[in-house]
Amino acid sequence: MERPPLAGIILAAGKGTRMKSELPKALHSVCGVPMAELIARAMRGAGVERPIVVVGHGGDLLVKALGNKCDYAWQKEQLGTGHATLMAADLLRGHKGSVLVTPGDTPLLSGAALRLLADHHFETGADCTVATVHLTNPTGYGRVVRDGRGNVVAIVEDKDASDEIKLNNEINTSIYCFKTKVLLDILPTLKNENSQGEFYLTDTVTAINANRGMVHPIVFGDFEMMIGVNDRWQLAEASKALKTRILKRHAHAGVTIVDPDTTFIGVDVEIDLDTVINPMTSIEGNTRIGAQSEIGPNTKVINSTIGNGCIVLMSHLNDTTMLDRSRCGPFANLRPASIIGEGSKIGNFVEVKNATLGPGVSVSHLSYIGDGSVGATANIGAGTIFCNYDGFSKHRTEIGEDAFIGSNTTLVAPVTVGDGAMVAAGSVITHNVAAHALGIGRGRQEVKEQWAAQWRKRKQATDKH
């Protein structure tokens, strides 16, 4: 049977007072991705084409972060979860299926769980299906009240609950699937007569029962997935839980994670088979790492692409590409728009920025390669500096294939050293060096025979007096 259409609403208008933050709560990130974006992805994973995000507090920032893959409804005043859902009603008029409703603060929620919820909802034909979990400490959550047949007859908020209801440890995750029409009919009828003076979405459950409708629970065993983040400590706990899930996913896919406690891998990172991630390593953003590479220890990689068989040792990489079998570190700093060629070697205390290195290049020690290019198999000696900045603008240094730059060379850009050329150690190069030529720019060495011996002799003679 074909599944009826499925819409989705993410409630993300709240300020999140308990976060004590200038940012709206749903924009706080877990493992590098804003919570609302994680939930929007889960919704898409469950088959919702364009989730509707209800925004209010800091709404412009949320719209900017989530972009045009979502629709938006505005809740100008935060009058409660029921009122927030009502703000999405106009976008749902005439919708002939069901609608998932989730808060914006459950970052571990998966698409598979939402799909399970929707499938169950369509199978039973309930008016509303609510995802519940059993918690050892249910304090703060809405409690689920069931009738003799196991259907949900009410959800009572912690702040409104009697001592008896507070003993109930089955809680409302705030993740629901409603028949769209049923939801749209009930929302305008909600009242705010409760301890918080808010329009509660949870009151739709009582209203559906009053109309002889049916609310089904679906109990999830994985309570961690339903964690709601209300303060920064819960944010930290959610980050830790999601981090562990991400590490496990990579480990099960054939990546060695040497120390899960000190390894951080962001949600969108991809890593191929037999790569080893050593301790104290953080891999973030849209980073892609090939097979059989070794990353870390003590390494941070952001938005970078690393090929197969690479080694990244105690280094910092941001927006960089390392091609197959290249290596860097210890203590390399590879900054945006750097491309390290196949099999190239970047050694200790080397900084590269906006530069393209061909295959087989060697920059083994203490250099700055900024704004330029280095041809295949060129050798850059220790202490080479690309002087790219004149105080006003940046200029480029181009080094040809197989060139040899002696140690402690200063290349004053714009300048070119041709293919196969050599530059003598200690040179300050201000003019181009032609292919296969030698560039030398330093004081000529003088050797004074016996000078040292004579000087010592003079000193000894004068000191005796």
Catalytic residues: 365
Site pattern 171..190 for ligand UD1 (x: CB under 6 A): xxxx----------------
Distance, CA of 243 to CA of 369 (rounded, Å) = 35
Residue 81: contacted member of Ca ion, ligand UD1, none (CB under 5 to 8 Å, by partner type): ligand UD1
Give the binding-site size for ligand UD1 (rule: CB under 6 A): 30
Distance, CA of 245 to CA of 250 (rounded, Å) = 9
Site pattern 5..44 for ligand UD1 (x: CB under 6 A): ------xxxx----------xx------------------
Least separation, in Å, of the C-beta of 284 and Ca ion?
26
Torsion angle of the four alpha carbons 15, 21, 26, 30, in this order, in degrees rounded to the nearest 10: -160
Site pattern 209..248 for Ca ion (x: CB under 5 A): -------------------x-x------------------
Neighbours of 358 (CB within 10 A): 22
**Residue number with CB closer to ligand UD1 (84 or 374):** 84
Residue 103 interacts with ligand UD1 (CB under 6 A): yes or no: yes
Residue 404 and residue 422 in contact, taking contact as beta carbons nearer than 8 Å = yes
For helices 111-124 and 35-45, what crossing angle results, to 10°? 50
Least separation, in Å, of the C-beta of 7 and Ca ion?
22
Distance, CA of 310 to CA of 293 (rounded, Å) = 5
Q: 3-class secondary structure for 212-234?
A: CCCEEEEECCCHHHHCCCCCHHH
Q: Which of residues 215-254 bind ligand UD1 (CB under 6 A)?
A: 228, 230
What residues form DSSP beta bridges with 423? 405, 439
Neighbours of 307 (CB within 10 A): 20
Residue 32 interacts with Ca ion (CB under 5 A): yes or no: no
Residue 410 and residue 395 in contact, taking contact as beta carbons nearer than 8 Å = no
Distance, CA of 442 to CA of 446 (rounded, Å) = 12
**Residue number with CB closer to Ca ion (177 or 226):** 226
**Residue number with CB closer to Ca ion (58 or 228):** 228
Distance, CA of 360 to CA of 342 (rounded, Å) = 6
Residue 78: contacted member of Ca ion, ligand UD1, none (CB under 5 to 8 Å, by partner type): ligand UD1
Site pattern 264..283 for ligand UD1 (x: CB under 6 A): --------------------
Distance, CA of 125 to CA of 214 (rounded, Å) = 9
Residue 72 interacts with ligand UD1 (CB under 6 A): yes or no: no
Residue 206 interacts with ligand UD1 (CB under 6 A): yes or no: no
Residue 24 interacts with Ca ion (CB under 5 A): yes or no: no
Residue 142 interacts with ligand UD1 (CB under 6 A): yes or no: yes
Residue 201: contacted member of Ca ion, ligand UD1, none (CB under 5 to 8 Å, by partner type): ligand UD1
Considering only 119-127, 165-173, 377-385, 434-442, which stretch makes contact with ligand UD1 by CB under 6 A?
165-173
Task: For residue 236, give every residue at least 6 positions away whose Cβ sits within 8 Å of its Cβ, in sequence order, or none.
Answer: none
Distance, CA of 18 to CA of 25 (rounded, Å) = 9
Task: For residue 243, give every residue at least 6 positions away whose Cβ sits within 8 Å of its Cβ, in sequence order, or none.
Answer: 31, 264, 265
Considering only 9-17, 97-105, 119-127, 307-315, which stretch makes contact with Ca ion by CB under 5 A?
97-105
Residue 78 interacts with ligand UD1 (CB under 6 A): yes or no: yes
What residue ranges bind ligand UD1 (CB under 6 A)?
Answer: 11-14, 25-26, 54, 75, 78-81, 83-84, 103-105, 141-142, 155, 157, 171-174, 200-202, 228, 230
What residue ranges bind Ca ion (CB under 5 A)?
Answer: 105, 228, 230
